[in-house]
Amino acid sequence: MEPSKDFISTFMVAVSNCLLYSKEHEAFDELAKKTLGALEENLKEQFEIMIIDDELIVNKKSLRGGGLHRINIIKRLKRKGVSRVDFLKGITLPEIKRFIVDISEPGKGLKSYPHIRAGAVDIRMGGLKMDAVDINQLVFSPQEEIEKVKDVFHSATPFRKLDIAGLEEVVAHFIGSFRKEANLLKLLSPIKSYSEYTYTHATNVSILSVLQAESLGIKDDMLHEFGIAALLHDAGKLFVSKEILDKKGKLDDWEFDEIKKHPLYGARYLAKMDHLTRLAPIIAFEHHIKYDGTGYPGAGSNGKKQHICSQIVAISDFFDALRSRRPYRESWETKKIIALMEKNSGTDFNPLLLNNFTGLLETALN
């Protein structure tokens, strides 16, 4: 194996195993020593890792191969808001240990150490920002996140894949913001125009779904991947006529039948995407299937229940749809929506999940 690939693989094995052991455990110590040894094989004066357009650049050369380890280091660094790391001659074992811990822990920023510098490449300026990045210190702006989602969705076509990296950044910002804002309703963005509904709704559904999941104990990479899948729950609407989506009056039968196909369109589109969580096509297909198996598309035909993550997204989707003003109706008050959802508990919604969700809402209202 090439020395640079060997370092990436050894480093990512250490990161993956970091949370299994305490920092004092001999297994963690051994993995850190192996990582340092692999790094020293590559290190003359400096060993440089950059991420540019989803490419891993090592010492100014694109690293091909490397399988899942290459993919995972790109994901990990992007979630930290980092696109460049420089390892300098003289690096010590304590430094590499602290860096492995920083990379492995969700929500923790990457610090720079005397012989490790982490930062962002500024392609437009041809320069480099090498400040440490901490997602907990980022200012969360719902409108900015909606604009990012809009840009990603606008770039998608039946023949062009979504920019998942852009969505990963959005979800990382959501998760960082939860630790600073106790009232979940303040995290949601209002619909400013009918044409913005798809992007604003996708953002709100992801926020509500991640909040539910986190309250149920889902965390780390699974929470992040779930946030991306929830953000893409309506991806199939990219393939539905804009005239139908933005129609101000009641849909006729043909138009409604076309709308009902969007879960299938979304599932087919997302299933073709490499490196995307398998939850994404499942949630896209199932989010309009109800807890009792009714709904669409093709509900109940295979006798299987919705995936629990689809059940969470269905709750978020229904709530945000009713609280949003639409061309054909006004927005509903939160208490009125809760009353309707509780009435449909056990038929439309999983009772346990709904009880948890309404508890979160009641805490926010109080």
pLDDT in tens, 150-159: 777 777 666 6
Does residue 130 surpass a pLDDT of 50?
Answer: no
Share of the chain above pLDDT 90, in %: 32
Greater pLDDT, 334 or 53: 334
Mean of per-residue pLDDT scores for the chain: 81
What is the arithmetic mean of pLDDT over 283-295?
94
Check residue 65 and give its pLDDT.
64
| Residue 358: pLDDT band with limits 50, 70, 90 | very high
Can you tell me the mean pLDDT for 199-224?
89
Closest CA to 239 of 153, 129, 127, 178: 153
Q: Which pLDDT belongs to residue 159?
A: 63
pLDDT at 284: 97
- Tell me what pLDDT residue 157 has: 67
Spatial distance between the Cα atoms of 52 and 54, rounded to a whole number of angstroms: 6
Mean pLDDT of 172-181: 67
Which residue has better confidence, 309 or 250?
309
Q: What is the mean pLDDT of residues 113-121?
A: 80
Please indicate whether residue 140 or residue 287 has the higher confidence score (pLDDT): 287
* Separation between Cα atoms, residue 3 and residue 17, nearest integer Å: 21
In the chain, ranges of CATH 1.10.3210.10 domains: 138-365
C-alpha gyration radius of the chain: 22
Q: Which of 65-74, 82-91, 164-173 has the highest mean pLDDT?
A: 82-91
Domain 138-365 matching CATH 1.10.600.10: the answer reads: no
**Confidence check: pLDDT of 200 > 50:** yes
Question: Using CB atoms within 10 A of its CB, is residue 210 exposed (0-12), middle (13-18) or buried (19+)?
Answer: buried
| Contact by Cβ (8 Å): 266, 234 | yes
Higher pLDDT, 332 or 174: 332
Mean pLDDT of the region 96-109: 82
Q: What pTM was computed for the model?
A: 0.67
